[in-house]
Structure 1
């Protein structure tokens, strides 16, 4: 493929018979091309045409999105299939992993430039902590934006004392602060938890770390981006109330085509939802046809918690459940409010 200097490309199968997954992604891609800023070049290729050159990587699957930059390996996009998320990815990947030395004006813009932003407030002479932060930035640059502030006056204006790292999540209105850090693994663990949205999007990049929390997973599946946004809006109150003890995500069923079957849900029926109690590996499909509201989900969840609803049993499996009464729903609890040096401010209010 003859590459131009920097471009993002959507690779599709036969357009005449676009599969639902390709059709859904192409719709978001068209929106992204409409809203791309200067310097972001986006185009798509029909890979079913004989003369098309789609040989970017081995084991190609369609649809796929790649970022192409001259003299650099192609980078495959594995995030949420939303126009805004894809544009954020291009913006991150065409900038340094860390935006250094933000001033007051630059910081104000940077904090809202992405869905999740990490800013390290550091002493300019502390090269060790700069190295730790840069290591983490390289690990997660496909998902989040990273910047630094070294001007004490800028830090003071933000009410931050160096060294510290602040996670800004403008969509949820959350600000999470880590006061002081030392090693890479300490910062890595904090970044994983601090970055978690009230209702995030399940992706191949974050799936395992969300499962690793150990708390029940609440899966909310919608067939279109607009339907997933409606689920986010209607269940935000519920997910906010149980943020520490549940992991709530919306799911693009075309990105995870086998998930509905694994959750005991009827294929092709949307919206749909289920809870996976990870500590006991039990799955509870949300009743088909029941409304998706915070109150309805909370009432159903209470029935699950008190043992009035039995877990789903896969076809052909015989089992009994003898301890369906109230029980702790996970083997451990991760509460950032109790982590040393961590302060959480939610929607402008401090949570102690």
Structure 2
């Protein structure tokens, strides 16, 4: 679809969408009987898999309805599947949470990674309907460069070739619009000399020109340029734009400020020169300290004392909070940021106190002890990461305790452990992050590699996994490291009644 055929109001994605329960809708209801006949012929269709009881689904519904109405004139359809009524159909499509949105092209699905507000859905789906790179002419230049928050246009002569631009566009077509032009009128209007790459933005400086050689640039070069310039110098972070920062993977420098603080704008303006200095290395954001105070706690800000400043590495998830007693003192924030960029700043690691005694068959591990306990080269370690509020974790507990009891006689060579992952941070030495609960990892003796446990959560399966992966002898009758034979024997236990979990 050529851009000139698309309404600029749709592309701008800035219309004010009413969120009303009785809003009109063009969303198609899908069932197992009509799914293939309605979805497979479509070159582009968005499908939502939802559950009627799901709060997130209810919040999405009016926006989804509004987007369906707006997109209908463009021939872009939206559909939905009730996963309570159509459980088998949802299972066939690998739906494990609600809502799940998938973009189908002639029956082939890809995950939807766009916003969940009406204007964001419209903008995302319009991008999906366009070729990765659109032709820009004098007739649509002004419309195209204002069509989204960030638009990338390559200006070329007939002999120019920029293969990296085409590859970058294919990789990031979900993120922004890409266009190319060799139209002399457009090139003159842009005031550039081909070959050139320009980002047009709806924030900060309205256009940014790539300073290197476009012809010899690599895909990585162009990706870095786009990532560095695709977010405002200092924007307010919210649930709606967090994904943009998350995808960029740049460390986030948070300014936690109460919205009613009379000095709020003063703080933000004072930090902007620092944000400019480190643009491309960190993304600076302000955040509502009242609304997102719990997120501050997750970043190891210990008190609800605002304003506060903290840096988070989005790759390692390490957190670097500034002493909260310092507030947003510019000199201290600058010193803190410079130390982080230089690699001399140590992360803050949350840890529960080290238990005074270990009276259970399962070892209670805390963050402070992680390296010394888990990376003990002489021991096999089987570790559960859990959350106190997690229902699956609560159901696993008696089984995990039984596993610890089974191997209690050989604690000198095998550690069955558990760690409350929401109360203890993993140190930088650990090559993974915990994304769900419970997570089970096995670290063989003499190794620093971890093996994921992906079997069912029955005692028998856990025992089989230990016996298959342990490096040390599991029979207490076998001496270990010159020690005397253990007198206790491992005895088979009858596991408690167990029901498999998802």
The answer, yes or no, to whether TM exceeds 0.5 is yes
Shift of 1:193: 1.5
Partner of 1:346: none
What is the SS of the residue equivalent to 1:54?
helix
Are residue 93 (structure 1) and residue 125 (structure 2) matched? no
What is the SS of the residue equivalent to 1:124?
coil
Q: Quick one: distance in 2 between partners of 1:250 and 1:56?
A: 42
CA contact (8 A) 2:301 2:321 kept: no
Residue by residue, what CA displacement relative to the aligned partner does 1:63-87 show, whole Å, maximum 9, x if unpaired? 122222225x212112333322221
CA contact (8 A) 2:322 2:333 kept: no
What is the SS of the residue equivalent to 1:65?
strand
Shift of 1:51: 6.3
Residue by residue, what CA displacement relative to the aligned partner does 1:37-65 show, whole Å, maximum 9, x if unpaired? 51222233321213673356436432122
- Scaled by the length of structure 1, the TM-score of the pair is 0.65
Residue by residue, what CA displacement relative to the aligned partner does 1:73-122 show, whole Å, maximum 9, x if unpaired? 2121123333222211111111110002x112211111111221100001
Shift of 1:146: 0.3
2:171 to 139, 143, 154: 139
Are residue 115 (structure 1) and residue 149 (structure 2) matched? yes
Shift of 1:35: 3.6
Q: Which runs of 5+ in 1 are unaligned?
A: 288-295, 320-352
Partner of 2:114: 79
Are residue 105 (structure 1) and residue 139 (structure 2) matched? yes
- Relative to 1, partners in 2 of residues 1:188 and 1:263: Cα closer, same or farther, differing over 3 Å? same
What is the SS of the residue equivalent to 1:87?
helix
Q: Quick one: distance in 2 between partners of 1:239 and 1:32?
A: 37
1:184 to 219, 222, 226: 219
- Relative to 1, partners in 2 of residues 1:36 and 1:122: Cα closer, same or farther, differing over 3 Å? same
Shift of 1:282: 4.2
Partner of 1:323: none
Moved more, 56-65 or 233-242: 233-242
Q: Quick one: distance in 2 between partners of 1:57 and 1:161?
A: 49
- Relative to 1, partners in 2 of residues 1:24 and 1:311: Cα closer, same or farther, differing over 3 Å? farther
1:202 to 211, 224, 242: 242
- Relative to 1, partners in 2 of residues 1:190 and 1:49: Cα closer, same or farther, differing over 3 Å? same
- Relative to 1, partners in 2 of residues 1:220 and 1:155: Cα closer, same or farther, differing over 3 Å? farther
CA contact (8 A) 1:285 1:312 kept: no
Partner of 2:474: none
What is the SS of the residue equivalent to 2:85?
coil
**Pairwise mapping of residues 161-176 of structure 1 onto structure 2 (< 5 A)?**
161-172=193-204, 174-176=206-208
- Relative to 1, partners in 2 of residues 1:210 and 1:243: Cα closer, same or farther, differing over 3 Å? farther
**Pairwise mapping of residues 1-352 of structure 1 onto structure 2 (< 5 A)?**
1-2=35-36, 3-4=38-39, 5=42, 6-13=44-51, 15-16=52-53, 18-19=54-55, 21-36=56-71, 38=73, 39-50=75-86, 53-55=89-91, 57-58=93-94, 60-71=96-107, 73-100=108-135, 102-126=136-160, 128-129=161-162, 131-172=163-204, 174-179=206-211, 180-181=213-214, 182=216, 183-198=218-233, 199=235, 201-203=241-243, 206-207=245-246, 209-211=248-250, 216-218=252-254, 237=269, 240-241=272-273, 242-245=275-278, 246-249=282-285, 262-264=298-300, 275-276=310-311, 278=313, 281-284=318-321, 299=328, 304=333, 314-316=350-352
Residue by residue, what CA displacement relative to the aligned partner does 1:181-227 show, whole Å, maximum 9, x if unpaired? 11333222222212233327221x7525333xxx55227799xxxx9
CA RMSD of aligned residues (A): 4.3
Q: Quick one: distance in 1 between partners of 2:90 and 2:206?
A: 41
Q: Quick one: distance in 2 between partners of 1:236 and 1:10?
A: 38
Higher RCO structure (Cα 8 Å, ≥6 apart): 1
Q: Quick one: distance in 2 between partners of 1:94 and 1:250?
A: 34
CA contact (8 A) 1:264 1:285 kept: no
What is the SS of the residue equivalent to 2:57?
helix
Q: Which runs of 5+ in 2 are unaligned?
A: 1-34, 337-345, 353-366, 370-502
- Relative to 1, partners in 2 of residues 1:187 and 1:196: Cα closer, same or farther, differing over 3 Å? same
Q: How many residues align?
A: 284
Partner of 1:331: none
Shift of 1:135: 0.7
Residue by residue, what CA displacement relative to the aligned partner does 1:244-301 show, whole Å, maximum 9, x if unpaired? 434135789xxx9x966631369xx9x99862265995433897xxxxxxxx98x356
